[in-house]
Structure 1
């Protein structure tokens, strides 16, 4: 950690060159004797990335940014705030994989005490410096392996253990809990002996059903999407919990948040109705799709499914509480009829339960991407291939 980076003139330089590309800064000679061009470029890159992802860090003077990988792997302010909602006020929490310290900071705004563990000494120093700049004085930093520290801890039982295991092992991406570092499945008995609650962050691509077979005492699964992209998958475990698992699907879109909660039993027992496309077509958010509540979604929002395996919904009424996008149906035709047409089209193409992918369809039918029209290629009620022509309700 080069503290010369924190000098006023260096910080001023970074903000004055905020709109420049870091690569260009790296190629120029540094105007400072004690800060290299490479270091300036790295700090500028971190500052630029924090503008949207971590606005509090961007707006706080004297923030020191770590390597690009540490910033990429950190939570955003939005998801950090969300995780803070999952703990109780006044708790004692340990963050076993503290990293850049974003989650630790947000936990500290609600917890009585947060212990931040990070085996990378320099990254631990950076997180500690930034916490001081942010005014988070109830975070205590341990520059060591979190599992080793937790094992040696003789404090009374903790309230919450938070862990974000590394999903990159030996330069390869892994998705099962047992393949991550540390192996949370192997350490789970120790975790449950040390704390009342365990909060585990997983890869968004992780198979939820497979994970539930690996873990024990899971109380809640939280799927968080931002602008229809699944960003975080969280498992909340509670000692001795043996009841049903609640699925929390939370979608953030601009300044709006929507949440949908259901259980596996509700999904299993649901018997949705089916229909051809009606006045409105509903496309579920990625959080809903990830959770797998396909049948119960139809029941809860009073919608019809197009087909058992086509995860699109329809109704004659507009439901603004739906988590996803809603479209007004202009008309529906069979794909066999659509293929006969030769006129050029400009549209946004989506497929659901259809043999061809969007890019293949655009190429085959010479469809230009974009515009106000939306084409949904899908399988309908009678197993026929359909094209549903729509326009967005918001447009």
Structure 2
């Protein structure tokens, strides 16, 4: 870490040039003898990435940005704020896999102390410096192995253990929970000896049902999406908890938060009603579909499903606060009629419970991408393939 970067003259240069291409900055000679062009370019690149991911940080105190990979792997401020709500006032937290420290900084705003463990000494130093700039004095950074640190603590001395296990081991991507590092499946006994609650941030690609089989005492599961992209899963385990886990699908869209909570048993026993397309079409957010809330979302908003396996919904009126996109239906075609009558040659094409890929549909019907029209190729309540032409209302 080159602390010279935080000096006023360097920060002024970065601010004056932060809208420029980092590659152009890297190729020019640095105006500072003790800061290289590549270092300046890396800070400008870091700022540009943070504008989207960490806007509060980008426009507040001088932040020292780490390597690109650390920024790519860190949480956004939106998802960090969700984790902050899980921490009780005055708690003692250990972040075993600290990284760039975004989650640690936000949890520290509720906790008495957050211990940020990070093996990379340079990254640990960066987080420590940023915590000072951001005014987070109760974030303690230790360049150490987080699992070893927890193992050295007295039993019951921690309130929370937070962990974001790596899905890359020896440069290869792993898919099983027990193959991640650290292995949170194998470490559960140790963690529960030291802490009352374990919060694990897991990949959105993880099979939730598989995790439920391998992790014990799961009290809450959070499926978090930001602007239509499923970002992460949070599993909250509480020592000795034996009840049913509550699943919360959290949709963060245009800085607004929507939440739908249910239990797996509730989803299982909920009855659905099917209907032909009515006046409005409802397409649920990815957080809803990843969480598996296919029936409870219909019940909650008094909607009909188009088909048992078609995760599209319909109603004759607008359902405010529905977590997803809402469309006004213009026309419904059978697939054969669409072939004969179609006069739409530019549209946003989507498929739900339909055997043909979007790319093949575009090619077959000569439909260009974009525009205000939406075409949903799907299956109706009687099993027939249909095409729904719709316009988005919200």
Q: Identify the TM-score tier after normalising by the shorter chain.
A: over 0.9
User: CA-to-partner distance for each residue in 1:334-378, whole Å, 9 max, x for gaps?
Assistant: 011112246352111110011111122112111111111111100
Aligned to 1:232: 232
Residues in 1 aligned to 2:329 and 2:56: alpha-carbon distance in whole angstroms: 42
1:60-71 superposed matches below 5 A: 60-71=60-71
Q: Which SS does the other structure have where 1:294 is aligned?
A: coil
Residues in 2 aligned to 1:30 and 1:155: alpha-carbon distance in whole angstroms: 52
1:50-199 superposed matches below 5 A: 50-154=50-154, 156-199=156-199
Residues in 1 aligned to 2:252 and 2:103: alpha-carbon distance in whole angstroms: 18
Residues in 2 aligned to 1:151 and 1:237: alpha-carbon distance in whole angstroms: 18
- 1:261 correspondence with 2:261: yes
Residues in 2 aligned to 1:214 and 1:93: alpha-carbon distance in whole angstroms: 24
* Mapped contact 1:352–1:376 kept (Cα < 8 A): yes
User: CA-to-partner distance for each residue in 1:72-94, whole Å, 9 max, x for gaps?
Assistant: 11111111111100111111111
* Mapped contact 1:344–1:366 kept (Cα < 8 A): no
Aligned to 1:320: 320
* Mapped contact 1:175–1:203 kept (Cα < 8 A): no
* Mapped contact 1:60–1:133 kept (Cα < 8 A): no
Q: Which runs of 4+ in 1 moved over 3 A?
A: 341-344
User: CA-to-partner distance for each residue in 1:24-71, whole Å, 9 max, x for gaps?
Assistant: 111111111111111111111001111121122212333111000001
Residues in 2 aligned to 1:121 and 1:357: alpha-carbon distance in whole angstroms: 47
Residues in 2 aligned to 1:60 and 1:376: alpha-carbon distance in whole angstroms: 43
User: CA-to-partner distance for each residue in 1:203-256, whole Å, 9 max, x for gaps?
Assistant: 011110011111000001001111111011100000011111100011011132
Residues in 1 aligned to 2:238 and 2:252: alpha-carbon distance in whole angstroms: 26
Aligned to 1:223: 223
In the TM superposition, what is the alpha-carbon distance from 1:390 to its structure 2 partner?
Answer: 0.6
* Mapped contact 2:155–2:194 kept (Cα < 8 A): no
In the TM superposition, what is the alpha-carbon distance from 1:157 to its structure 2 partner?
Answer: 2.3
Residues in 1 aligned to 2:123 and 2:338: alpha-carbon distance in whole angstroms: 57
Aligned to 1:40: 40
Residues in 2 aligned to 1:103 and 1:321: alpha-carbon distance in whole angstroms: 28
Q: Cα RMSD over matched residues?
A: 1.2
Residues in 1 aligned to 2:342 and 2:305: alpha-carbon distance in whole angstroms: 30
Number of aligned pairs? 394
Aligned to 1:386: 386
In the TM superposition, what is the alpha-carbon distance from 1:155 to its structure 2 partner?
Answer: 6.8
* Mapped contact 1:274–1:381 kept (Cα < 8 A): yes
* Mapped contact 1:376–1:388 kept (Cα < 8 A): yes
Residues in 2 aligned to 1:305 and 1:372: alpha-carbon distance in whole angstroms: 24
Residues in 2 aligned to 1:303 and 1:60: alpha-carbon distance in whole angstroms: 44
Q: Which SS does the other structure have where 1:186 is aligned?
A: coil
Query: TM-score w.r.t. structure 2 length?
Result: 0.98
Residues in 2 aligned to 1:356 and 1:307: alpha-carbon distance in whole angstroms: 17
